[in-house]
Chain A
Amino acid sequence: DGGITQSPKYLFRKEGQNVTLSCEQNLNHDAMYWYRQDPGQGLRLIYYSQIVNDFQKGDIAEGYSVSREKKESFPLTVTSAQKNPTAFYLCASSAWQGYTFGSGTRLTVV
């Protein structure tokens, strides 16, 4: 079945450490996105990529980095510069058929 896989589902990080969240899709979608969701709030766009080897900052890109070396993969790195990284992170992809979301990674800084 086609879809988006985010891993891991739960992730714990010590303060000052970088951590990378994985997002893989087998839908052959060109565009991919990373969103952050805080409790009781909506989704905010971190970064997005409309094509391989190209990406743009979203509304809250500070403290995050991404790469898009392959069409299928759009990993997100949460760097030590992100002051409040504890959140639920959602990856999505899109094509003309619409958007598909992954099941999310819950990151907790300990």
Chain B
Amino acid sequence: GESVGLHLPTLSVQEGDNSIINCAYSNSASDYFIWYKQESGKGPQFIIDIRSNMDKRQGQRVTVLLNKTVKHLSLQIAATQPGDSAVYFCAEETSGSRLTFGEGTQLTVNP
């Protein structure tokens, strides 16, 4: 099943289920958004990005949805695997090409 809702610090899912991680961004002028995956003790790893002229973009097992009306971004992971366990951050690009990060969601995949 899916877990949806407002931004949560933790999300636990069963292996094989779909995951949805949500993020609210702050700057209505932001035009570029990125989702990162961060494993413990490592730097953020790029997952997928989307520009503000789009509302959906798909990658391999991942989909990003952008709702500019309510300034909301979500990351959907299909068929979640144990290797997907990590902290996931959304980031928005604001003026001067600087990234502002959300607080992150810890995803735990149970076998």
Q: Which residues of A contact B (CB under 8 A)?
A: 31, 33, 35, 40-45, 48, 50, 56, 58, 88, 90, 92, 94, 98-99, 101-104, 106
Q: Is the CB of A98 within 8 A of B49?
A: yes
Interface size class of B (residues with CB under 8 A): 20 to 34
Secondary structure of the A side of the interface? strand
Q: Which residues of A contact B102 (CB under 8 A)?
A: 42
Which one of B36-44, B54-62, B65-73 is at the A interface?
B36-44
Q: Which residues of A contact B36 (CB under 8 A)?
A: 101
Q: Which residues of B contact A (CB under 8 A)?
A: 9, 34, 36, 41-46, 49, 89, 96-104
Q: Is the CB of A43 within 8 A of B89?
A: yes
Q: Is the CB of A45 within 8 A of B97?
A: no
